Structure 1
Amino acid sequence: MTRNKQIRAVLLAALMVFSVFAGTVALSGTAAAAATNVTGTASGDTVLVNATLAGTEDNATAYVDTNGNGNFDAGEPNTVNSSLGTATELNESVDVSGVAGGTYTVGVVTNVDDASESDDQGASVTIDDGESPELISAVHYEQPGGQAVLELSFSEEVVDTNTIQLYQDESPVSATYTQNNKGQVVAQTSSLLTGDLEVNLEDVEDTDGNSVTGLDGDENATVTVATVTVDGDAGTIGTTDAYQGETVAVTNDTLDVSVSIESDDSQDDNEGFFRSGSTGATSAVYTFDTTDRETERYNVSFGGSVVEKVQVRDLGLDVTVDDLNITDEESIEGTASSNAGERIIEVNVLDDDGDEEFSTGEVELDGQGEYDFDINVTAEDIDTGDYTVEVVDKGSGVSVESDTVTISEAADGSADFATSVVTDQRGDVFAIPVSLDNTDIATVTIGTEEQGYLANVTVEDGDSDGEVILLWDSSESTNNNVDTVFDVDDSDDDILTTGDDATDITNNTSDLIDSGDYDLEVRTGRSAGDADNVATLVIEEAGVQTVQTWTAAGSASFKDLDDVNAALEDSELTQDDQIAFGDKVIVQIVAPGLEGFTGAQDDETPNFFATSNGYDDSYRLTINQTNPGPNRDPKILNVSDASVVADGDNDTYFVVFNTDEIDAVRDSDDDGVYDSNDPAATLEDDDAFNVEFKLVGEDDVSSNLALVEDNVTMMDSYEHIEGEHDTDADPINVTNAENQTVSGTSNVAPGTELTVRIKSDGDTQPRFLKTATVVVSENNTFSTDFDFSEQNLGDTFLVTVSGGEADEVEADGNVVEAVETTEETTEETTEETTEETTEETTEETTEETTEETTEATTTAAEETTESQTPGFGVVVALVALVAAALLAVRRD
């Protein structure tokens, strides 16, 4: 380093040290002055602020902290003294004429706008504005974070907020009230409350003991419920939906913020609405009532900036009443609906003066936006007269009324039975038809005390069609649970279980009810009295009428009775005792008395194999092998794995299973009953089975629910066979023409779909492939036609038949020349041959006819092709001549 560079480095270092030192001196300055002993005294519209100063202040500002944040803010009442000199005492008067009454803190700020500014708070001072506190607003809403609150905005500070009481529909709501700011009282609620909200402020006063004004005679005030909230600090401008009539709350939890709402001018034909205001000095929420607004979009500005858009939509609240003219023994029925589902509504009945006669209270629309109401006029003690049905949306307050409903006095009604004798079997579900005239309610009595069974059932004709079909489950005669024993056939009708003389079972039986005749009585209405009409209930013995085995294709589906009936009509379900292994077995059981046990009413798939219903005790189905082979235990099928389709009206049950899918065991204990502990067995071709259905007699059942006195049994049988297809000919000869038939037989179940494929083979050119789908007919045949018009004489092919529970079968085929065989000759020969009774005569007649016809028409066959028979060409003719010669030798 040179000497000059060394000197420059030393000077630079010295300069840096000097700069740092100079900065340190400048920052140290004079210690900031501070005011002490700050006090305040209120007198009328003036507050005198006193403080002790250090005597070195440039200026001092005395102020009243009206926003309570502990600092001096622009806009707060203040007085500035800029001529302090060396004064050590500050005495300044602050004008508080615009300040609401309440308790505030006074403060002093010294050296304002100086880096050494000091702000000192002092004592509290209570300002009396000389006026009573006023409730400016009461709003219930959800804050942007989701917390539901009640905000009460007063004109000044109030005390005794713990005496405030909120009511929802006149019921008190518990809450704790906190005065967050002077005049702003807030309470949290567990959820957003709807309905009529009121707040009682009877004991709330200001700091001078003045009571709150602006209340009703009971010291109550109505609370505005805002069901939609717009976040003033949302950041991203979005769109919030509000239904016309709802109140929207705009808030960011800050007091005294300016708010404006105006129509969004980006949409056509807007209403040009504009409104501006603020939350208020003691409120953090602004409300926007959409009741009179158009269904359009509005911009919401908060603190001068657009924060959200509100789209006002039509709620579409509506109410319809099914019948506007009813009697005082009927119900007001109808539907409330809206464009929004799951909203809370209230359905009210109003008299012609608009007074509420009845209310459902709060109910909820379903997900489709509907609620069906049914208001029983008698039960709700609604008099005759004119009424309307009012529906109120609790969230928005929107309401609609129906047309006038006229309730008149009911004429004398009557009830009767549609038939004088009701007959069914013991254990079945009895359908008892009741006719009603000028009434929707009737009471049916079944049995008497002397007959050992007595029940009273009150029914209601819900659709006013004049009929109720009462269902009585005789298999539940030991039960006294009304819902278990009784039902109605039409879901519009009902069984009444409340009110005077409603449904009850006085006498139930200890065992299943006996067969025999029982009294039936019916009377109008609910009340006891003489019967309008009588009938007889005839309980016949249960029994087993038939058991039959049927079969269907293994791929067939039988989910319900419609499937079964369709298969019967299409001949795809047929009776059979030889069933291809893999096809379905259908056991048809006709057994009156099982309807109640199995739950087979209305053609439902029943709980046929439920032991709780009596299976394996009161009734039993067994399928046992009859050809187990030497030294082998027979196989027993686990029939409980089968599905069941019921035709309850006809006492018929179809037990359905696939032969290769049902489980089986070996009957090692020789009891003839399936036991899962027995060794498992595999079902095979050639297995033969006995099918037995039994109703178990009283001596053999373990319960008290025997359907018959003695065992009743019906049986049938079937065996497994190996599925096979076969063609009617091999080889199959066709000619080169349309509609060439390929036919055959199959022992798989009728209705099984087969695929017939014809594929060229050998040296045939061009190659060809033909396929068709056929269905096995009810007589186990199949047939389909193919078009061979594009093929050549001499072409060969292979026919393959596949599908169902059988291996595919093949047959050769040829395309051959046709030989003319006149229809008349064929018919005559066939008739003559048929009349002959011996095989020899038939052969002779056929051979002679063939020979004569061949000789007589050889020339014509070369020219005529309209009535040709496939497969008869020159070679065949030669064979026929040889056959004739042999025949002549045999005759000799």
Structure 2
Amino acid sequence: MTDDNDDGEVSVKFNSYQAGSGNAGDVLVPGDDETTIDEVNERTFGGFGGSNAGDDILEATDYDMLTVEGHVNLAGNSTAEVEDEDDVGTLSLEERSTENVQVWRAPASTYNDDIDDLEDDETAPVYDLIEAGNITQTDEAAIDDVNDDIIIQVEASGLEGVFTDGSGNLDTSSYGSASGAEDTGAVFQHALEDDDPGANVDTSGTDIDALSSGDYKVIYDEANDTHFVAIDGNALESAFSIEDEDEYAANFTVYDQNSDLVDDDDDSEVANDSVQFVDADATLNNDDDISLQAASGQQIFGTTNVAPSSEVTIRLRSQSSSSPFLLQPETAVTENGTFTATADLSDRSPGTNFTAQARIDGSNVGDDIDGTLVEGEVATVSISDQESDGSEVVVDNVQLSAGGFIVIHDDSLLEGEVAGSVVGSSEYLEEGSHEDITITLDEPMDEDFTAVAMPHLDTNGNEAYDFPGADDPYTSGDGPVTDSANVTVTSEEEPTATEEPTETETEPPETEEQTEETTTMDSGTDEAETTEASGPGFTAAIALIALVAAALLAVRRDN
């Protein structure tokens, strides 16, 4: 071994996956450009030597390692006396594991714009997209007119040594060809399996290699024992013939028979997650006709099932030859699947009819909606069926061109009682769009009821709800703007007089939010620990100081 720049240090990489293969040149390679390995010899112990890579992996334990100056033959090296404690280091190997699989999705352009040209270990852009909300965890993804891109995250340690080239650098180009069924001799398989393929159809799954190499990218985060398989959504739908409501499991398996990556006494390690594919859809204004003012700042609200952060264009096309226009305000899908675009209609004429259409990734998505430009103030409101303890209701979304209130009416409104049907009202809301508005009812309801949400103006400008007498409702067409929903009133059962609550110490159940936090990897751990680590890979370093009596640190990464 030669210290090429004479700085007193040399570095090597040690591949513990290849350590029993008998090919010493694959086990030990230079760790930097300033180190040259002149010759590597391997001494055979027990069954080591001449095996296939991965067959005779070193046991997970600590190994003493000795560094000496000059050439020492194998026999002499095995009996050499330690004269200085700095001559000895420790190689610490820990058990590897297969932990988890998580499916994520991203807007249709993400793979080709941000991922496909990344280096094999260039993980920072992936974490940046997660942090920005462009990549989100999901159990549903859109196909057909819009194909969400798919990212499968695999948490499994000790695989880096399988994917290293002759220089000890990470190389995932063979990931697809290395994946396969157990009877092919593959050590692992990454496959997508249709959960309901139909009668007389093999359900063993389709290997990731069914995709062309340019349609997916494998990115390794060695610091977190994680890799991401990012897939172009268009290619995935075509290669796997995915249809509406098909549910697929993303399976990652490490076999127990074809390598020592899994202990011989254990079964193959399997981790998976499922995703259902649905035809892309979008709905404008709850599928109702739209009334907009002939003014600036007009908002069009919608919902969609495509990936959050997808860009949405609302195409507004005039149907009147006397006031022609084509406007295309743009916006983006929020985390909860809503979007709101703002248009300037101040130069348009009241009374003009138009159509509104949502466009995503260059395609029309959902039905077009008829609309009319009006004089005066306009509003929209949306409320969904929900459960409540009877003291409050939640309104999904409201848009108010001039600010105001949301008033909640009960079933008696449907029988003609207006003022007497009011059961609650919101605080004053500024003009614009508001989401998830919680409204406390005047009196708690003790049985199920129909909640009718009705936006009201603040006609006297005092920011207090004063109807009747002031603060009339927003209107559209023949009457007030409203939306209704069924509210199911629930109550917690209290202990009877003869029953005393028992106190037990239990761990709180893990919530979905907590689960997502644990599966979202923290890019802040990119600096690898340099004392010990787990899993086969080129991650050990041997440092020789001035080539004499050097301290040796053989490192294997944690996790």
TM-score normalised over the length of structure 1: 0.39
Q: 1:743 to 1:771 in 2, by over 3 A?
A: same
* Structure 2 equivalent of residue 731 of structure 1: 289
The question of 1:682 aligning with 2:226 is answered: no
Match of 2:351 among 794, 806, 814: 794
Q: 1:60-79 to 2 correspondence within 5 Å?
A: none
State the alpha-carbon separation in 1 of the partners of residues 149 and 163 from structure 2: 23
Match of 1:533 among 87, 91, 105: 87
What is the SS of the residue equivalent to 1:545?
strand
State the alpha-carbon separation in 2 of the partners of residues 742 and 621 from structure 1: 43
The question of 1:588 aligning with 2:153 is answered: yes
Match of 1:755 among 297, 300, 313: 313
The question of 1:809 aligning with 2:367 is answered: yes
Q: Percent of counterpart pairs with the same letter?
A: 24
1:851-880 deviation line (CA, Å, top 9, x unaligned): x9565348xx9xxxxxxx9x5379546x99
1:179-202 deviation line (CA, Å, top 9, x unaligned): xxxxxxxxxxxxxxxxxxxxxxxx
> Deviation of residue 643 (structure 1)?
3.2
* Structure 1 equivalent of residue 228 of structure 2: 654
Would the aligned equivalents of 1:753 and 1:803 in 2 still touch at CA under 8 Å? yes
* Structure 2 equivalent of residue 856 of structure 1: 469
* Structure 2 equivalent of residue 472 of structure 1: 14
> Deviation of residue 760 (structure 1)?
1.1
Letter in 2 for 1:609: G
* Structure 2 equivalent of residue 99 of structure 1: none
Q: 1:118-517 to 2 correspondence within 5 Å?
A: 458=1, 460=3, 462=5, 464=7, 468-491=10-33, 493-497=34-38, 503-507=40-44, 509-510=48-49, 511-517=56-62
The question of 1:872 aligning with 2:441 is answered: no
Match of 1:743 among 301, 306, 309: 301
State the alpha-carbon separation in 1 of the partners of residues 173 and 159 from structure 2: 10
Q: 1:475 to 1:572 in 2, by over 3 A?
A: same
State the alpha-carbon separation in 1 of the partners of residues 127 and 94 from structure 2: 28
State the alpha-carbon separation in 2 of the partners of residues 731 and 814 from structure 1: 8
Would the aligned equivalents of 1:517 and 1:536 in 2 still touch at CA under 8 Å? yes
Match of 1:627 among 196, 204, 211: 196
Q: 1:775 to 1:489 in 2, by over 3 A?
A: farther
Higher relative CO (Cα under 8 Å, sequence separation at least 6) belongs to 2
What is the SS of the residue equivalent to 2:426?
helix
> Deviation of residue 762 (structure 1)?
3.5
State the alpha-carbon separation in 2 of the partners of residues 754 and 847 from structure 1: 29
Would the aligned equivalents of 1:817 and 1:873 in 2 still touch at CA under 8 Å? no
RMSD: 4.0
> Deviation of residue 597 (structure 1)?
0.3
Letter in 2 for 1:856: G
The question of 1:835 aligning with 2:441 is answered: yes
State the alpha-carbon separation in 2 of the partners of residues 854 and 579 from structure 1: 45
Match of 1:618 among 187, 210, 213: 187
State the alpha-carbon separation in 2 of the partners of residues 552 and 844 from structure 1: 34
> Deviation of residue 503 (structure 1)?
4.1
Match of 1:639 among 208, 231, 251: 208
Match of 2:250 among 691, 702, 726: 691
Letter in 2 for 1:586: I
* Structure 2 equivalent of residue 721 of structure 1: 278
> Deviation of residue 595 (structure 1)?
0.4
What is the SS of the residue equivalent to 2:174?
coil
1:608-631 deviation line (CA, Å, top 9, x unaligned): 233399996221223211112345
Task: Point out the structure with max Rg over C-alpha.
Answer: 1
Q: 1:812 to 1:687 in 2, by over 3 A?
A: same
1:37-92 deviation line (CA, Å, top 9, x unaligned): xxxxxxxxxxxxxxxxxxxxxxxxxxxxxxxxxxxxxxxxxxxxxxxxxxxxxxxx
1:421-451 deviation line (CA, Å, top 9, x unaligned): xxxxxxxxxxxxxxxxxxxxxxxxxxxxxxx
State the alpha-carbon separation in 1 of the partners of residues 403 and 323 from structure 2: 34
Would the aligned equivalents of 1:624 and 1:691 in 2 still touch at CA under 8 Å? yes
Letter in 2 for 1:818: G
> Deviation of residue 693 (structure 1)?
1.4
State the alpha-carbon separation in 2 of the partners of residues 857 and 503 from structure 1: 91
State the alpha-carbon separation in 1 of the partners of residues 237 and 449 from structure 2: 54
State the alpha-carbon separation in 1 of the partners of residues 236 and 404 from structure 2: 56
* Structure 2 equivalent of residue 571 of structure 1: 133
Q: 1:855 to 1:693 in 2, by over 3 A?
A: closer
What is the SS of the residue equivalent to 1:609?
helix
What is the SS of the residue equivalent to 2:128?
helix
> Deviation of residue 504 (structure 1)?
3.3
State the alpha-carbon separation in 2 of the partners of residues 663 and 833 from structure 1: 43
* Structure 2 equivalent of residue 86 of structure 1: none
State the alpha-carbon separation in 1 of the partners of residues 366 and 477 from structure 2: 34
* Structure 1 equivalent of residue 263 of structure 2: 708
> Deviation of residue 801 (structure 1)?
0.7
The question of 1:775 aligning with 2:332 is answered: yes
* Structure 1 equivalent of residue 376 of structure 2: 818
> Deviation of residue 583 (structure 1)?
2.4
Letter in 2 for 1:521: L
Q: Aligned pairs, how many?
A: 386
> Deviation of residue 477 (structure 1)?
0.4
State the alpha-carbon separation in 2 of the partners of residues 505 and 809 from structure 1: 70
What is the SS of the residue equivalent to 1:515?
coil
Would the aligned equivalents of 1:469 and 1:490 in 2 still touch at CA under 8 Å? yes
Unaligned 5+ runs, structure 1:
1-457, 666-680, 862-868, 881-892
